[in-house]
Amino acid sequence: MLTSWARAIVAALDDRGTDGRSLARQAGIDEQSLRDPAGRAPVTATGRLWRLAVAATGDPCFGLFASRYLSFPAFPALGVAILASASARDAFTRLVRYSRIVSDAAEYRLDDDGDRCRLIISIAPDARLENESVDAIVSLKVRTLRTLHGDRRCGPLSVTLKRPRPSPSDAFDRFFRAPVTFGADGNVLEFDRALIDAALPAAHAELALRSDEVMAREIAERGEAGLASKVNALIRDRLPAGEPSQEEIAKALGIGARTLQRRLAEEGLPFAEIVARTREEMARNLLREGRWSITEIAFSLGFREASSFSRAFRKWTGQTPSRFRG
């Protein structure tokens, strides 16, 4: 696990008047690891530090407090992409797609249900995270939402957590400002869908897309990405020069076109569908930001004419690009 969590705990302890670095040493986390932005510490050591922190502060809700000291992900491209996202949905979608760059302890899923949207946070069983660590992970997502909207008052409609209710638990009510259910089957943040889809004031589509490319390459280089993710990254790189063919992408991957077709079919995502999804996501981001004309967006997505882009966008969304932009 990245020592960014340990550094956050140490900073929170120092703020509470406790020597955080001393407790980190007791937990088995050395000073050099704490100083290294890309440093890592065993999950067991970080878990010991959480337990020592709760004992030293007497605060069973310490995880909520400590999350304020965790900056955006230690892998810079993810933090940049989240901050530059066009909407909270875009930010959480990036979290779903790229969070394993930072840690494989948690996986995320974003589901829609009518006028509500749920961010489901699944903790890997073998991660053995302390309750306080999960509290920090969940609360950080709400802090992120508030940062994106520039509004400390916004938040979830409801919160469900697997952890047992701490005593006292009023810090959870104060932080989330929403009903909190403990001892549930999973960790879920439920939001108003309109809040999740609202345009963000600091959106920067080009910066977010460039960061996406960095992260996609990072995952591909680690060998962690599925074939569809690798194809998505290659398509993003090539779209400004025109829509890439399946043969071109296969060649870039060092495999035959038929092999690519077969392996994508096994993953349930045909090549044409990946191209369409990639274009739609990029189009939505660029339109929300409002810095480019529809013609410029069309060319950047590999369309030869703005009219072709408009027809495709209407097929994807049921709206024209102009209407979507508002």
Q: Where do the structural domains in the chain lie, given as residue ranges? A: 4-58, 76-197, 226-325
Separation of alpha carbons 152 and 144, rounded Å:
10
Separation of alpha carbons 24 and 52, rounded Å:
9
For 123, phi then psi, to 5°, come to: -95, 130
pTM value > 0.85 = no
Could you identify the residue written with the tokens 């946070």?
Answer: 121
DSSP state of 120: E
228's tokens: 């569809």
- State residue 265's pLDDT score: 81
Could you identify the residue written with the tokens 């000291």?
Answer: 69
Helices (H), 163-204: 170-176, 193-197
The CATH code of the domain at 226-325 is 1.10.10.60
- State residue 223's pLDDT score: 59
Helix, strand, or coil (residue 129): coil
Separation of alpha carbons 256 and 149, rounded Å:
46
Q: What is the pLDDT along the chain (326 residues), one digit of tens a residue?
A: 667 888 899 999 999 999 999 999 999 988 887 887 666 777 788 889 999 999 999 999 999 999 999 865 556 788 889 999 999 999 998 888 888 777 777 888 888 888 999 999 988 776 778 999 999 999 999 999 999 999 988 999 999 999 999 999 999 999 999 999 999 999 999 999 999 999 998 888 888 888 888 887 777 666 555 778 788 888 988 888 889 999 999 988 888 888 888 888 877 778 998 999 889 888 888 888 777 899 999 999 999 899 999 999 999 888 899 988 87
DSSP state of 166: P
- State residue 43's pLDDT score: 75
- State residue 225's pLDDT score: 57
90's tokens: 């875009």
What would you report as the CA-atom Rg of the chain, rounded to the nearest whole angstrom?
A: 22
Question: Could you give the angle at the alpha carbon of 89 between the alpha carbons of 177 and 302, nearest 5°?
Answer: 165
Separation of alpha carbons 72 and 276, rounded Å:
30
